[in-house]
Amino acid sequence: MIDDGLLRELLSRNARWAQSANIANFTQSDRPGEPPRILWIGCADSRVPESVITSSNPGEIFVHRNIANQVHLNDTNLLSLVQFAVNNLHVEHVIVVGHEDCGGVQACLPGQPPPDPPLGLHLEEWLKPLTLYAKVLPALQPPVGGNPLEILIRENVKLQVTNLSNMIQTLTLEGPHVHGWIYDVRNGRLRDVNDEDK
């Protein structure tokens, strides 16, 4: 094993957690396999750990994370995960979760100076649909009424909810409910984007 203090610390934390946690409660279920009722599609940002911010136990949330919580209809990783969650796990809710201060979304804002260091080919390609969307989004056309990053974060979540809803409709007639949430990294609170539109 590599002699790295950080990795040793992670293993040590895990040992303490496993010793103090009631592992039996995490693994019991009234049906075999995983019992999650929720599929969480969130950003890969390390400040948004879904089980921590929702105070959830292992087995409660089925998770997919990527940069800027994107739902690409050609992403076989996501497609297979959604198909499994809907058809096999029978999740009741799918939640797309963005977050304030998202670097991936910020990189897509029109008129921003290029990031330093540059994003790189794979990340640019990953964010291309959102970058193109941001260029034509009416709410981001001058004059912009509000914080452009906050606007694009909210509109991105709504766009991904639409993409995901369309994807799920191809899998089942009576699929799970699809929601859009935003996590505020400053105060630790989640909010529903639909509540903001009322």
Annotated binding site: 43, 45, 99, 102
Q: How far apart, in whole angstroms, are the C-alpha atoms of residue 183 and residue 189?
A: 6
Annotated binding site for Zn(2+): 43, 45, 99, 102
Q: Which residue in 16, 30, 47, 191 is the catalytic one?
A: 47
38: nearest Cα among 94, 98, 86, 78: 94
Q: Which residue in 64, 102, 108, 154 is the catalytic one?
A: 102
Alpha-carbon separation of residue 7 from 13, 20, 36, 58 (angstroms): 10, 20, 29, 22
Q: How far apart, in whole angstroms, are the C-alpha atoms of residue 43 and residue 41?
A: 7
β pairing state of 189-192 and 61-66: unpaired
Instruction: Tell me whether residue 108 is one of the annotated catalytic residues.
Output: no
Instruction: Tell me whether residue 4 is one of the annotated catalytic residues.
Output: no
Q: Which residue in 45, 64, 108, 154 is the catalytic one?
A: 45
Which class for 79: exposed (0-12), middle (13-18), buried (19 or more C-beta within 10 A)?
A: middle
Q: Which residue in 43, 64, 108, 154 is the catalytic one?
A: 43
Phi, psi of 142, deg, nearest 5:
-60, 145
Q: Which residue in 64, 99, 108, 154 is the catalytic one?
A: 99
Active site members: 43, 45, 47, 99, 102
